[in-house]
Chains A and B, each alone.
Chain A
Amino acid sequence: EAQVTQNPRYLITVTGKKLTVTCSQNMNHEYMSWYRQDPGLGLRQIYYSMNVEVTDKGDVPEGYKVSRKEKRNFPLILESPSPNQTSLYFCASSLSFGGNTEAFFGQGTRLTVV
């Protein structure tokens, strides 16, 4: 089954404790990205990757890091989480970029930073 898998689904952590949210896709997609969803703001892009070792900032990259060492994986790293990073996070992948192919989203990761 074609899917994007994120882990964990839920996470409560303390300020400053480094964490990683994993994202993996099994569709051999080149393009992957991370979004955060906040009430009243919709989803905003954090980072994206057009292929292995190619990543770039989205609209809200501050406080986040990503890596793309393998085509299937695109982890989101919070080196020193803060309460304003409490949010619902989505990983997405698509065959290419530009909107002409469907984006597949993971199930979401609800992160709470206390």
Chain B
Amino acid sequence: AQKVTQAQTEISVVEKEDVTLDCVYETRDTTYYLFWYKQPPSGELVFLIRRNSFDEQNEISGRYSWNFQKSTSSFNFTITASQVVDSAVYFCALSDIQGAQKLVFGQGTRLTINP
């Protein structure tokens, strides 16, 4: 069965600090996709990234970066030089062939950036 674990329920940092959100997943499939979504206080879900299981290259997008490690089944998300606008709940999600009709979400990490 598929499972996504975000062990950090809440994180609070001061602005300009770097912060890493952890995501560990379980799947028996060799082909799968991993996602990160941001949910700002307004409530909508904002797509951040999709990564397939065959692409282990790390990705950087501005202050955001993602570290995908198949060996540890992790897909961690780092925000560099955090800003107050980064405050949100962040979800990691998995989709694989076995459960192809859905996204399996982690519990979410509430990130608070204090000025």
Which residues of A line the B interface, CB within 8 A?
31, 33, 35, 40-45, 48, 50, 56, 58-59, 88, 90, 92, 97-100, 102-105, 107-108, 110
A43 near B100 (CB under 8 angstroms)? no
For residue A99, which residues in chain B have a CB less than 8 angstroms away from its CB? 32-33, 35, 50, 52, 95-96, 100, 103
**Given known contacts A42-B107, A99-B32, A48 and B102 CB-to-CB distance under 8 angstroms:** yes
Closest Cβ–Cβ distance, residue B114 to chain A (whole Å): 22
Residue among A41, A56, A88, A104 making CB contact with B101, cutoff 8 Å: A56
B37-50 near A? 1/0 per residue, CB < 8 Å? 10000011101001
B33 near A90 (CB under 8 angstroms)? no
A59 near B102 (CB under 8 angstroms)? yes
Residue among B32, B95, B100, B106 making CB contact with A42, cutoff 8 Å: B106
**Given known contacts A88-B43, A102-B50, A97 and B101 CB-to-CB distance under 8 angstroms:** yes
The count of chain B contact residues (Cβ–Cβ below 8 Å) is 26
**Given known contacts A40-B107, A42-B91, A98 and B100 CB-to-CB distance under 8 angstroms:** yes
**4 closest pairs, A vs B, by CB?**
A99-B95, A99-B33, A42-B105, A105-B45
Closest Cβ–Cβ distance, residue B48 to chain A (whole Å): 11
For residue A42, which residues in chain B have a CB less than 8 angstroms away from its CB? 4, 6, 91, 105-108
Closest Cβ–Cβ distance, residue A45 to chain B (whole Å): 4
Q: Which residue of B lies closest to A59 (CB)?
A: B102
For residue B95, which residues in chain A have a CB less than 8 angstroms away from its CB? 98-99
Closest Cβ–Cβ distance, residue A2 to chain B (whole Å): 12
For residue A41, which residues in chain B have a CB less than 8 angstroms away from its CB? 107
**Given known contacts A40-B107, A42-B105, A44-B105, A97 and B100 CB-to-CB distance under 8 angstroms:** yes
Query: Is B97 an interface residue, CB under 8 A from the partner?
Result: yes
A100 near B52 (CB under 8 angstroms)? yes
